[in-house]
Structure 1
Amino acid sequence: MKASWEKTEKNTGILTVETDEQAVVDALNQAFKKVVKKVNVPGFRKGKVPRSLFEQRFGVESLYQDALDILLPVAYEEAVKETEIFPVDRPEIDIEQLEKGKTLIFKATVTVKPEVTLGEYKGLEVPEKDFTVTAEAVEEELTNMQKQQGQLEVVESGAVENGDRVIIDFAGSVEGVAFEGGTAEQYTLEIGSGSFIPGFEDQMIGMNLGDEKDIEVTFPEEYHVEDLAGKPAVFKVKLHEIKRLNLPELDDEFAQDVSEFDTLEELKADTEKKLQEKAEKEKESYIRNELVEKAAQNAEVEIPEVMIESETEQMLNQFAQQLSYQGLNLEMYAQFTGQDQEQLKEQFKGDAEKKVRANLVLEAIGKAENLEPSTEDIDQEMEDMAQQMSRDVEEIRKLVDAQGALESIKDQLRMKKTIDLLVSVSQNKA
């Protein structure tokens, strides 16, 4: 097989491939074995039609598409390896020659991973940021623990307050006409959660049990339903139930209930220690992220749009997975917030571009510095994975081999070593 690569634009080029004649013969043979099983010819059972008769009646050209399906992926992959290019998108294929007894010649228009021109990445400085754990932060953490131990209790009398969970019926309309998704009965809503259209929850504060009220709101201009975007709406609301969180006292008894400590002071001291440990990790993460961003900003790279689109799609999928843990999906999220998938993608696009740029620059720095994970690094990673998954190390090794995940693990380790380098040569190093 012959393969050549010629760049036509910054990140695009033409991959020209010519296979040998035998590869075409083999592909046509495989195609015939597949097609002949479906052919009906009088006097022959399915699958038993002679090749010569088949080609006489249907033409060898009838095998070309199946032969291409067999031959193209293999030839393309071999050509990519031979020319050492890194495609980032599906190629556009143009067949120039496919005939029985001749070679297959095709051209593939390919978008490849961009080249990076590194800027300064050593001696970078990160602005100082305060990660001090304050007394207020400790109290806030204790309050969160207190809320977790709180009990929801039905409010027998009184008005709705911020933070209450209410059960309501509602029916929405625009200009007197009901709209899809605007009606529900016995709906549970947390006041202050921001789940509904802005202004809805605020107007429920002060309502009493059994009250009925017309709540007037305006749909956001960017609402996902075009017919409703920016329009005023009226929701007829009836309040059925109020539940409020009853909090336990913050005292020694509380400390004994939620921890191994006997006194509240001991719990406070332990909480402060954990917050300080968390703050140290956040500080380390902050420095690493800032250094990566600065190195990326100093580099020059023209990113193909398809790489940004792919990363954006991954971010959307991850967001959808996070929603699923809360019993939601993208459609429900769009209904509550007015943001559809396209708007979410647009929202993620900036971060997706930054992530792609950072990864490309880190890869380029790693190559420039000849950074490679050692056997010890890989062994340690396997042990860490085994510990996290509560499985045997050898079992993890077999799993990694079976999934072909070793290169991915090496890539992650290279990136970690590269960021470690940025930290070690920065002005913020210890």
Structure 2
Amino acid sequence: MKATAEKIDKNTVLLEVEVEQEKVDQALDKAYRKVVKQINIPGFRKGKAPRAMVERYVGTETLFGEAAEMIIPEAYMEALQETATEPIDQPQIDIVQGEVGKTLIFKATVEVKPEVTLGEYKGLEVTQPSSEVSDQDVEKELERLQNRHAKLVTVEEGEVQNDDVTLIDFTGYVDGEAFEGGHAENYSLTIGSNTFIPGFEEQLVGVKLGEEKDVNVTFPEEYHAENLAGKPATFKVKINEIKRKELAPLDDEFAKDVSEFDTLDELKSDILNKLKETAEKAAKSNVENGAVEAAVANAEVEIPSIMVDQKVEEMLNSMGQRLAQQGINLDQYFQYTNTSINDMRDRMRPDAERNVKNELVLDAIAKAENIAVSEEEINEEIQKIAEYVKQDAEIVRKTLELQGELIHINQDIARRKVINFLAENAKIVEGTKEA
């Protein structure tokens, strides 16, 4: 097989492929064996008519068309490899020469990955936040544990405090008139949760159990009910019940109750180690993200819209899978959120464009630095997938090959290696913990 590639536009390549006559003849034999089983020719049992008779009956063009469908996909893939062409869309195929007894010549016009003009990508300044963990950090985590495992105790008398869970009756009024949906009895509201209209919860702090209070608020301009958006309202509120968190003392018994440790010191040590691990991962991630952002900012590339469209659909599919794990589908989600699939596509597009540019730049750096993926690295990735899905690694490999997913695994590994390369070659500037 011979293949040539000619760039005919900025991101368009014309492949010309010639397949040897021997392969054409073999494909014609296969085509004959397929077609002869599908037709009835008078005087012959089904499937037994000679090839010459089949050619006369269905026409040589039909037989050659069947053969071409067998040859072209494989020949096209070989041509892509031979000419190092990276397509981003399906090709337009035109048969130039297609006759019995001759080579098959076809042309494939295909849109390809755009060229990336790389700028500086090594030695770029990147801030690495501090990964130090203080005693105060450990204490804060212990407080969170205390609050998570706190008991709610009913307050017999007293005033509402921040973080209290209250049961309230309320009726809302706009322009002196009660409005639809503005009334509830024994409504559970955690003070300070910011789940109610802004300013509402704060005004209940200090109100006594059983007391009534007029709460004055203004609905947000973007409030979902148009008839209330931006309008001032008064809520008549009564405090029916107050429940307050009762925190367990920080001692060995607390450690036993909330963890697998026997002492508070052991729990503190575990918290410290986990916080350090999290902080180190965050610092590493910050360096990697910063290095990629800097390299991408220094590169120039014109992104074809088809690549952005494909990335948007990929993101939509991923979102659909996540929603399915929660028991809802995309249609239900759009119904609940009063949006549409086109709204979501529009919102996803900027992120999709950014992701595509990142991937194109990472791929270009991989090529410039000869960063390749070994068979061992691919096998390790397949083994991880096999362990996750609890299947034999060889079965997983064959499935991925059939689905054409091995190339994506190769790309993912290569991009991760490039990200590590950029981080290792970055100029690290130590930052604060908040950086």
TM (norm. structure 2) is 0.68
Deviations 1:136-157 (A, max 9, x none): 7656644654566578999xxx
CA contact (8 A) 1:220 1:338 kept: no
CA contact (8 A) 2:12 2:111 kept: yes
CA contact (8 A) 2:128 2:286 kept: no
C-alpha distance 285-138 of structure 1, shift in aligned 2 (>3 A): same
Letter in 2 for 1:63: L
Aligned match of 1:22: 22
Aligned match of 1:93: 93
Counting only pairs closer than 5 Å after superposition, residues 5-404 of structure 1 correspond to structure 2 as: 5-127=5-127, 129=129, 133=133, 138=138, 141-142=141-142, 145=145, 149=149, 249=248, 251-252=250-251, 253-264=253-264, 266-372=266-372, 378=377, 381=380, 385=384, 396=393, 400=397, 403=400
Q: CA RMSD in A?
A: 4.8
C-alpha distance 247-325 of structure 1, shift in aligned 2 (>3 A): farther
C-alpha distance 39-372 of structure 1, shift in aligned 2 (>3 A): closer
Between 1:414-423 and 1:260-269, the stretch displaced more is 260-269
C-alpha distance 355-34 of structure 1, shift in aligned 2 (>3 A): same
Distance 1:302 1:165 in 2: 57
CA contact (8 A) 1:219 1:232 kept: no
CA contact (8 A) 1:12 1:109 kept: yes
Letter in 2 for 1:58: V
C-alpha distance 415-44 of structure 1, shift in aligned 2 (>3 A): same
SS in 1 for 2:427: coil
SS in 2 for 1:122: coil
Distance 2:166 2:12 in 1: 56
Q: How far 1:322 moved relative to its partner?
A: 2.1
Distance 2:379 2:62 in 1: 55
Find the structure with the greater CA-based Rg.
2
In structure 2, list runs of 5 or more residues that go unmatched: 155-161, 168-187, 205-218, 229-240, 431-435
Deviations 1:17-38 (A, max 9, x none): 2323333333333222212212
Distance 1:259 1:15 in 2: 64
CA contact (8 A) 1:250 1:264 kept: no
C-alpha distance 316-150 of structure 1, shift in aligned 2 (>3 A): farther
Q: How far 1:294 moved relative to its partner?
A: 0.7
Distance 2:12 2:331 in 1: 37
SS in 2 for 1:120: coil
Aligned match of 1:224: none
Deviations 1:159-192 (A, max 9, x none): xx999899xxxxxxxxxxxxxxxxxxxxxx9999
Letter in 2 for 1:316: L
Q: May I ask how many residue pairs the two structures share in their alignment?
A: 376
Deviations 1:294-315 (A, max 9, x none): 1011012222222222222222
Letter in 1 for 2:51: R
Q: How far 1:59 moved relative to its partner?
A: 2.0
Between 1:94-103 and 1:82-91, the stretch displaced more is 94-103
C-alpha distance 260-114 of structure 1, shift in aligned 2 (>3 A): same
CA contact (8 A) 2:383 2:393 kept: no
Letter in 2 for 1:282: A
Letter in 1 for 2:360: L
Between 1:352-361 and 1:412-421, the stretch displaced more is 412-421
In structure 1, list runs of 5 or more residues that go unmatched: 155-160, 167-188, 207-216, 222-228, 234-241
Distance 1:35 1:380 in 2: 41
C-alpha distance 284-388 of structure 1, shift in aligned 2 (>3 A): farther
Q: How far 1:118 moved relative to its partner?
A: 1.2
SS in 1 for 2:26: helix
Distance 1:89 1:52 in 2: 39
Letter in 1 for 2:275: L
Aligned match of 1:415: 415
Between 1:264-273 and 1:274-283, the stretch displaced more is 264-273
SS in 2 for 1:299: coil
C-alpha distance 147-101 of structure 1, shift in aligned 2 (>3 A): farther
Q: How far 1:370 moved relative to its partner?
A: 2.9
CA contact (8 A) 1:92 1:108 kept: yes
Runs of 4+ in structure 1 over 6 Å off: 150-154, 161-166, 189-192, 217-221, 244-248
C-alpha distance 409-39 of structure 1, shift in aligned 2 (>3 A): closer
CA contact (8 A) 1:147 1:245 kept: no
SS in 2 for 1:277: helix
Q: How far 1:101 moved relative to its partner?
A: 3.2
TM (norm. structure 1) is 0.69
CA contact (8 A) 2:89 2:110 kept: yes
Deviations 1:233-265 (A, max 9, x none): 9xxxxxxxx9x9987635433321121334556
CA contact (8 A) 2:125 2:429 kept: no
Letter in 2 for 1:310: Q
